[in-house]
Amino acid sequence: MNSLTVILPTYNESGNIATIIERIFQHVPEAQVLVVDDNSPDGTASIVEKIMQSEPRLRLLKRAGKEGLGKAYLHAFSEVLKDQSVQRILMMDADLSHDPSYIQAMIRANTDADVVIGSRYCAGGGTQGWKPWRKLLSGFANRYCRTITGMPIYDATAGFILIKVDALRSADISSFDASGYAFLMELKYRLWRRGAHFAEVPIIFVERREGQSKISKHIILEGVLAPWKMRLRR
């Protein structure tokens, strides 16, 4: 069955990519996986190509250069939506912070909800291995987003998101220009404004052990401004 496509955006994830792909197929053997790589200098794409030789469920979308998480996801959505048989899309990080063992619980919650978030901020969720500043920033960012936008979601900056394709098709997702947390908040906001029903499934988010963070001052600033932009546009 060709109904679930997992999208894995990558930039310099050579230390994680083989493990995350293997673990996804272990927990959801029926899934297809699409890696979206922005020409990682560390050779992430060639590792994927090697695995593809013996793994027909795996595909690779190669992009010319680093353009941020948002652009990579929008490109991947437009590819996946061409295939009418795909019923749901799962967005997740490739750095092993999002444990594939939660995917089945998210799929179960997806029967009643259009969008299921692997959530750090609902009862039972949390983070492991984060420095205090990261915890504070993330907790604050989520309360801030909820207060300003009114969106009833505890983990608005989450990147572990299962979406029914019908909900994604009805939201206007082709036309926005945001990269990191801003993209993840705005995507949920557009789905919510279009009437999508949300559920949150608790996850423990584990700090990456391999590779480097791509968080920058630009991504944080864009995230701070995003909820105001959404509110003002309303």
Establish if 95 lies at the interface with Mg ion (CB under 5 A).
Answer: yes
Among Mg ion, ligand GTP, none, the one that 214 touches (CB under a kind-dependent 5 to 8 A) is ligand GTP
Q: Is 68 in the site for ligand GTP (CB under 6 A)?
A: yes
By CB under 6 A, name the one of 38, 114, 186, 200 that touches ligand GTP. 38
Q: Is 34 helix (H, G, I), strand (E, B) or coil?
A: strand
Helix pair 217-233, 132-149: axis angle to 10 deg: 10
User: What separation in angstroms does the CA of 136 have from each of 9, 93, 133, 195?
Assistant: 26, 21, 5, 31
Decide: 144 and 225 in contact? Cβ < 8 Å: no
179 binds Mg ion (CB under 5 A): no
Of the pair 68, 202, the CB lying nearest ligand GTP is at 68
Q: E strands along the chain, which residues? A: 4-10, 32-37, 58-62, 88-91, 115-119, 126-128, 161-164, 198-202, 204-206
Question: Could you say whether residue 72 binds ligand GTP (CB under 6 A)?
Answer: yes
66 makes contact with ligand GTP (CB under 6 A): yes
Between CA 50 and CA 67 the distance in angstroms is 24
Which of ligand GTP, Mg ion, none lies near 13, with the C-beta cut-off 5 to 8 A by kind?
ligand GTP
Beta strands in 11-152 (DSSP E): 32-37, 58-62, 88-91, 115-119, 126-128
Size of the site for ligand GTP (CB under 6 A): 21
What values do phi and psi take at 87, rounded to 5?
-100, -30
Does 14 engage in binding with ligand GTP (CB under 6 A)?
no
Q: Note whether 95 binds ligand GTP by CB under 6 A.
A: yes
Instruction: Report how far apart the first and last C-alpha atoms of the chain are (Å, whole number).
Output: 39
CB of 12 to ligand GTP, least distance (A): 7
Segment near ligand GTP (CB under 6 A); pick from 26-34, 36-44, 147-155, 168-176: 36-44
Residue 158 binds: one of Mg ion, ligand GTP, none (C-beta under 5 to 8 A by kind): none
Name the site residues for ligand GTP (rule: CB under 6 A): 9-11, 13, 36-38, 66-69, 72, 93-95, 97, 159, 208, 213-215
